[in-house]
Amino acid sequence: MALRETFAYRVEVKENKCLNVRKADIVLKDDVEIARSYHRTTFAPGDDVSTQPQEVQDVAELVWTEQVVADYQAKSES
């Protein structure tokens, strides 16, 4: 009986360029899924995502241009 845990991520870009990240914790027994749970996190343009998985960092780098971050911060301040 070999148990192991793996993770899967889904990154969704919202209209305001915030990132919704869904992490799935998956438990496998002899390579057959026996449990799954989800955790969600939201990041706003300009947030630090350096501790997040590489796929989250890649999406943020692609979507969060300097202009997107400036526009988001300007809307947040008003």
Torsion of CA 20, 41, 18, 11, to 10 degrees: -30
The count of structural domains within the chain is: 1
Q: Using the Cα atoms of residue 68, residue 45, residue 42 and residue 56 in order, give the sign of their dihedral.
A: positive
Place of tokens 């796929």: 55
pTM for the model stands at 0.85
User: Whole domain around residue 69: which residue ranges?
Assistant: 3-77
Digits of tens for pLDDT over the chain (78 positions)? 799 999 999 999 999 999 999 999 999 999 999 999 999 999 999 999 999 999 999 999 999 999 999 999 999 887
Query: 64 exposed, middle or buried (CB, 10 Å; 0-12, 13-18, 19+)?
Result: buried
